[in-house]
Amino acid sequence: MSGTLFIVSAASGTGKTTLVKALLENSAHLKVSISHTTRPKRPGELDGVHYHFVDKNRFMAMVGEGQFLEHAEVFGNYYGTALSTVEQALKQDIDIILEIDWQGAQQVRQQYPQAVSIFIIPPSRAALRERLQNRGQDSDTVIDQRLNGAVADISHFVEFDYVVVNDDFDTALFDLQAIVQASRLRQSIQTIRHAKRIEGLLSE
């Protein structure tokens, strides 16, 4: 497999989804894995575009069948990444991004230790609260819960290969693009991708 698996994690409200969306718009051979979730759809979300929305019984059946590369419970809802989606993309030389939390990242690294992991942090707690409030999607109670969980989430940044600070959006996006491009040029990946070219260069 010559594709690269990227893990992008962050505390809720850090701007991860917006950054990844911009990254996808400016990067060839890169796609995001659409997760399965049991949480209700938010206004404007579409099934199969933002998430695959399933009920808890179906989700647990998929867990039992071993269909997930990783899965986790977050704020009472379940999220999971389909193993078949990831494997198919990597075999086709497509880099794939998993937008998952640190729990899921730990599970993925056990099966794909070569995955490139990135943790995005906010510039401050005050900025994080403001971003959560500006969403206009969650109640004050939910916002407080997310803020309380943010510190615990951010403490796991030490488990990741790269850390990006989302203070200035353009700078954070540039940093993500640099990580993706450098990862595609790793010797182990290029050896697979350009096997025939390298063979031709080295043969008499």
Question: 174-186 pLDDT, tens per residue?
Answer: 999 999 999 999 9
Is 11 assigned a ligand-binding role in the annotation?
yes
Is 150 assigned a ligand-binding role in the annotation?
no
pLDDT band for position 78 (50/70/90)? Answer: very high
Domains, the chain, with CATH or none: 5-202 (3.40.50.300)
Please tell me the distance from the alpha carbon of residue 80 to that of residue 61, in angstroms, as a whole number: 12
Is 85 assigned a ligand-binding role in the annotation?
no
Please tell me the distance from the alpha carbon of residue 85 to that of residue 171, in angstroms, as a whole number: 30
Is 10 assigned a ligand-binding role in the annotation?
yes
pTM: 0.84
Q: Residue written as tokens 């040029």?
A: 185
pLDDT band for position 1 (50/70/90)? Answer: low
Is 82 assigned a ligand-binding role in the annotation?
no
